[in-house]
């Protein structure tokens, strides 16, 4: 007895020590990355404007690609979120059990595809296939600024990149939302049904309010991936100056800009690209903080407590 409790105490100590060590290590790594970014970015922030690519200083260089990054991620979210929630609801509440587990498995498989494969698919298949659609949009809806012509002849516009991104973040949002929906208290659902609610009303009144913080964090995780996605955008997007039209070539994202230019960069250009990385780091940090804030604010509605 005493022996086992003594070894239990030792095991407890070892475990708490390693767990704390891991916790501290992750903080150190994060701090190390942040320090590296700041130190390496500094020369670009203080460099003469003429030395920065484009010749108009760092902020003039970074502003268009920050906006490009946000545009691509936002469109991806707009496309992916409703689809993902629909799929998650279908799996959790509508599909027959056997179909649901199969479908869930397939969705998870989507998440396992490497981003370079998505990129290759987008560049080689989706872009040429979607180009006639862009030409049609430009001809018929060209009066809306985001569909202004001339449409990209190759189809490699920011809308294509955003569609690829949407497909990539779909599995993340879907699987997280599905898990949340499945955790809705059975009593809530049955109570709603007992009060005469239809299935849709039950979903609206019991499942969605319960899952709201979960959906938000799933969407934010998806947004994080969309903001940082590099290879797929680098392969799909025909980058260029900032343009309002989504179907012309143009725009650029931070991650793709770094990936494309880093291999042959030298001198202050390296610092500029690292500074761009720092900006992306700050943006993702801000996104995560906002997400946390929203979740804590909505906690009382969730019914989880």
Q: Would you tell me which residues interact with other proteins (CB under 8 A)? A: 16-17, 20-21, 24-25, 28, 32, 53-54, 123-124, 127-128, 131, 150, 152-154, 156, 234-235, 237-241, 248-250, 260-267, 269
- Compare residues 20 and 290 and give the one whose CB is closer to other proteins: 20
CB of 70 to other proteins, least distance (A): 19
CB of 168 to other proteins, least distance (A): 18
CB of 209 to other proteins, least distance (A): 41
Tell me the C-alpha to C-alpha distance, in Å, between residue 138 and each of 127, 155, 157. 16, 12, 13
CB of 81 to other proteins, least distance (A): 29
CB of 71 to other proteins, least distance (A): 17
CB pairs under 8 A, 24+ apart, for 105-110? 107/170, 107/171, 107/174, 107/175, 108/171, 108/175, 109/171, 110/167, 110/170, 110/171
- Compare residues 28 and 144 and give the one whose CB is closer to other proteins: 28
- Compare residues 28 and 113 and give the one whose CB is closer to other proteins: 28
- Compare residues 261 and 284 and give the one whose CB is closer to other proteins: 261
- Compare residues 115 and 152 and give the one whose CB is closer to other proteins: 152
CB of 37 to other proteins, least distance (A): 17
- Compare residues 50 and 106 and give the one whose CB is closer to other proteins: 50
């Amino acid at each position: 007895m005493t022996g086992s409790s003594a070894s239990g105490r030792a095991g407890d100590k070892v475990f708490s020590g390693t767990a704390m060590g891991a916790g501290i290590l992750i903080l150190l790594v994060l701090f190390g990355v942040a320090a590296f970014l700041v130190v390496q970015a500094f020369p670009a922030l203080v460099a003469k404007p003429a030395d920065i690519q484009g010749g108009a200083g760092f902020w003039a260089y970074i502003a268009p690609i920050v906006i490009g990054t946000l545009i691509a991620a936002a469109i991806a979210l707009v496309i992916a979120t409703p689809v993902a929630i629909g799929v998650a609801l279908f799996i959790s509440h509508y599909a027959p059990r056997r179909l649901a587990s199969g479908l869930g498995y397939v969705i998870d498989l989507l998440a396992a595809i490497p981003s370079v494969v998505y990129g290759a698919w987008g560049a080689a298949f989706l872009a040429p296939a979607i180009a006639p659609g862009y030409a049609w949009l430009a001809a018929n809806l060209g009066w809306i600024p985001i569909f202004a012509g001339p449409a990209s002849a190759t189809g490699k516009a920011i809308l294509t990149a955003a569609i690829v991104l949407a497909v990539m973040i779909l599995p993340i949002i879907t699987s997280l939302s599905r898990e949340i929906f499945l955790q809705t208290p059975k009593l809530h659902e049955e109570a709603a049904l007992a009060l005469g609610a239809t299935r849709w009303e039950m979903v609206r009144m019991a499942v969605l309010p319960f899952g709201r913080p979960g959906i938000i964090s799933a969407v934010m995780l998806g947004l994080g991936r969309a903001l940082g996605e590099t290879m797929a955008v680098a392969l799909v997007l025909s980058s260029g100056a900032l343009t309002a039209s989504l179907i012309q070539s143009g725009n650029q994202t931070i991650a793709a800009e770094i990936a494309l230019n880093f291999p042959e960069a030298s001198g202050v250009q390296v610092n500029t690209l690292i500074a761009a990385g720092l900006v992306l780091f700050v943006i993702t940090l801000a996104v995560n903080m906002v997400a946390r804030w929203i979740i804590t604010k909505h906690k009382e509605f969730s019914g989880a407590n």
